[in-house]
């Protein structure tokens, strides 16, 4: 599954869907909004391009690593401290490949997926953060 959505996602449901008899390792990355002086954030994306890039990144990881599955869900819209932002679930026969693929996917998302973050700071100021959130 590849998704860019305003809706929250169920981490456990996504992990359960990724389980297969041949999958011995499921590696997950869950990014959440952290309190580093902000009240909330808003994420914007060029959604069609974001989905295309996420799909390409998934396909590249599947070609480069011995993995069985990849799920990526990226939220956009207004988010509060503690809200989920990004979920990556990689299934593989063995942990080494799953960890390596998950790290590759995360780094490529940060480099290539058109998502922008506006932070709403405590005290009322705002700022756009260059680069990807994640």
Q: What is the CATH number of the domain that holds 70?
A: 3.90.1170.40
pLDDT confidence of residue 64:
98
Which pLDDT band, with edges at 50, 70 and 90, does 130 fall under? low
Segment 9-27 mean pLDDT: 95
Which pLDDT band, with edges at 50, 70 and 90, does 131 fall under? low
102: in domain:
yes
17: in domain:
yes
Rounded to whole angstroms, the Cα distance separating 49 from 44 reads 12
For 41-66, what is each residue's pLDDT tens digit? 999 999 999 999 999 999 999 999 99
Number of domains present in the structure of the chain: 1
Do 90 and 69 contact (CB within 8 A), yes or no? yes
Average pLDDT, the chain: 94
pLDDT confidence of residue 132:
55
* 101 secondary structure, DSSP code: H
User: Strand 84-92 vs strand 126-129: parallel, antiparallel, or unpaired?
Assistant: unpaired
For 84-129, what is each residue's pLDDT tens digit? 999 999 999 999 999 999 999 999 999 999 999 999 998 889 989 8
Rounded to whole angstroms, the Cα distance separating 9 from 59 reads 22
In this structure, what token pair is assigned to residue 30?
């869950």
94: in domain:
yes
Site of tokens 């390409």: 56
In this structure, what token pair is assigned to residue 59?
């396909």
Site of tokens 């799920």: 71
28: in domain:
yes
54: in domain:
yes
Segment 35-40 mean pLDDT: 92
Q: Which of 67, 85, 68, 66 is nearest to 76 (CA)?
A: 85
133: in domain:
no
Rounded to 5 degrees, φ, ψ at 124 are 105, -15
User: Over 60: is that where the pLDDT of 3 sits?
Assistant: yes
Rounded to whole angstroms, the Cα distance separating 17 from 35 reads 31
């Amino acid at each position: 599954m590849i998704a860019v959505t305003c809706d929250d996602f169920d981490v456990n449901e996504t992990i359960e869907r990724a389980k297969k008899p041949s999958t011995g390792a499921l590696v997950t990355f869950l990014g959440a909004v952290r309190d580093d002086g902000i009240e909330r954030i808003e994420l914007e994306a060029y959604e069609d391009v974001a989905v295309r890039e996420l799909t390409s990144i998934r396909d590249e990881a599947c070609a480069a690593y011995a993995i069985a599955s990849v799920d990526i869900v990226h939220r956009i819209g207004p988010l509060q401290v503690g809200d989920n932002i990004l979920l990556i679930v990689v299934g593989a026969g063995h942990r080494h490949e799953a960890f390596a693929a998950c790290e590759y996917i995360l780094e490529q998302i940060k480099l290539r997926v058109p998502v922008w973050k506006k932070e709403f700071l405590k005290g009322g100021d705002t700022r756009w953060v260059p680069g990807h959130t994640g």
